[in-house]
C-alpha cells in the first residue's frame, strides 16, 4: 500500500533538497541545479497539497519587496519556485503581492541568472497581515529582513515609522529640524514604532546619535490624512550609492 504523503512531508523533502543544492552550489554546479529542481518540485507538491486539502478559507497576507543592497544589481525574486518580481533595482519597492498564510520559500537571483541565487530564505506570513521584505547588506552576504506593516490609520490622521538600512551609517537620532528628537538611537536594521501625526508638511533631519551633527536632512516631508508611511534610510555614508532616504506609502 502506498504511504500517504502529508504537507509536512513535502516541506521536509523540499528543505532537504534545498540544503543539498546550497552545499553543491559552488563546487558542483550541475548537482546544485539537480537538487534545486527537486527542491522546487517538492515545494510545488506542498503548495498543490494545500490547495486540494480541504481546509477552512483563510485571509491572505500581503507582501512587498524592498531592494536596499547597495552593491547588488537588479534582481529577480521567486516565491515557491515562481518568479513574481522581475528586474527590481536598488531603492525600489515592488508591487504588493497576495500570499496564502503559512510558510513560503523566497529565492533572489541577479536578473536573468537563475543558476546562482544570492539569497534563499523561508518566511512565515500570518493571515490578514501586511509585510515589507527588505533585501539588505552587500550582495555577497545578502539577507532578508521582515517588517510587519500597520497600514490602518485613524480617520483624518496620519502616521510614520523609520527604518535604518544603511549598513555603514552610525545609529541615528530622528528629529524635527532644529528641534527635539522624536526617535533616538535608531541602529542599523532597526524599525521604530509608528508615530501618530496630524497631517502636515515638516522638515526633519537624521542626526548622529547624541549630537547635533546632521547626517541627512529630510526637507518638507508631507504626511497626508488617512495615510501610513515608512521612511527608510539606505545607501552608504562612505561610498556610492550615497546615504539617502525613501518614503513608502502603506
Give the chain as a 3 state SS string: CCCCCCHHHHHHHHHHHHHHHHHCCCCCHHHHHHHHHHHHHHHHHHHHHHHHCCCCCCCCEEEEEEECCCCCCCEEEEECCEEEEEEECCCCECCCEEECCEEEEEEEEECCCCCCEEEEEEEEECCCCEEEEEEECCHHHCEEEEEEECCCCCCCCEEEEEEECCCCCCCEEEEECCCCEEEEEECCCCECCCEEECCEEEEEEEEECCCCCEEEEEEEEEECCCEEEEEEEECECCCCCECEEEEEEC
Per-residue model confidence (pLDDT) at position 4: 57
Per-residue model confidence (pLDDT) at position 99: 96
Per-residue model confidence (pLDDT) at position 124: 96
CB of 192 within 8 A of CB of 172? no
Query: Considering only CA atoms, which of 67, 143, 129, 75 is closest in space to residue 98?
Result: 129
Per-residue model confidence (pLDDT) at position 208: 96
∠ CA 142-32-27, rounded to 5°: 85
What are the Cα distances from residue 29, in Å, to 24, 138, 140, 154, 163?
6, 23, 18, 53, 37
> CA-CA distance, 103 to 96, in Å (whole number)?
18
The verdict on pTM exceeding 0.85 is no
Domain ranges of the chain: 1-55, 57-149, 158-249
Q: Which CATH architecture has domain 57-149?
A: Sandwich (2.60)
Q: Which CATH architecture has domain 158-249?
A: Sandwich (2.60)
Sheet of 181-186: strand order equals: 181-186, 172-176, 200-208, 214-223
What is the residue-level pLDDT of the chain in tens, covering all 250 positions? Answer: 344 567 777 788 888 888 887 887 778 777 777 777 887 787 887 777 666 554 555 689 999 999 999 999 999 999 999 999 999 999 999 999 999 999 999 999 999 888 888 999 999 999 999 999 999 999 999 999 999 999 988 899 999 999 999 999 999 999 999 899 999 999 999 999 999 988 989 999 999 999 999 999 999 999 999 999 999 999 999 999 999 999 999 8
Per-residue model confidence (pLDDT) at position 232: 98
How crowded is residue 158: how many other Cβ atoms within 10 Å of its Cβ?
20
Same fold flag, 57-149 and 158-249:
yes
Amino acid at each position: 500500500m502506498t504511504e500517504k504523503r502529508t504537507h509536512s512531508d513535502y516541506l521536509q523533502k523540499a528543505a532537504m533538497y534545498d540544503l543539498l543544492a546550497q552545499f553543491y552550489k559552488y563546487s558542483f554546479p550541475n548537482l546544485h541545479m539537480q537538487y534545486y529542481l527537486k527542491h522546487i518540485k517538492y515545494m510545488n507538491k506542498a503548495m498543490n497539497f494545500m490547495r486540494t486539502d480541504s481546509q477552512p478559507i483563510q485571509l491572505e497576507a500581503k507582501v512587498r519587496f524592498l531592494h536596499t543592497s547597495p552593491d547588488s544589481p537588479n534582481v529577480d525574486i521567486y516565491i515557491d519556485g515562481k518568479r513574481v518580481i522581475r528586474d527590481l533595482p536598488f531603492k525600489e519597492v515592488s508591487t504588493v503581492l497576495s500570499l496564502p498564510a503559512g510558510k513560503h520559500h523566497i529565492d533572489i537571483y541577479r536578473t536573468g541568472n537563475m543558476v546562482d541565487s544570492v539569497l534563499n530564505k523561508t518566511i512565515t506570513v500570518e493571515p490578514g497581515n501586511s509585510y515589507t521584505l527588505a533585501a539588505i547588506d552587500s550582495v555577497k552576504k545578502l539577507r532578508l529582513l521582515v517588517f510587519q506593516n500597520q497600514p490602518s490609520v485613524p480617520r483624518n490622521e496620519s502616521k510614520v515609522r523609520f527604518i535604518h538600512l544603511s549598513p555603514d551609517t552610525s545609529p541615528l537620532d530622528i528629529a524635527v529640524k532644529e528641534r527635539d528628537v522624536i526617535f533616538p538611537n535608531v541602529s542599523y536594521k532597526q524599525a521604530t514604532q509608528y508615530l501618530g501625526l496630524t497631517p502636515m508638511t515638516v522638515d526633519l533631519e537624521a542626526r548622529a546619535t547624541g549630537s547635533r551633527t546632521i547626517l541627512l536632512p529630510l526637507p518638507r516631508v508631507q504626511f497626508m490624512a488617512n495615510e501610513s508611511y515608512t521612511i527608510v534610510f539606505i545607501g552608504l555614508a562612505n561610498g556610492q550609492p550615497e546615504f539617502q532616504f525613501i518614503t513608502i506609502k502603506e
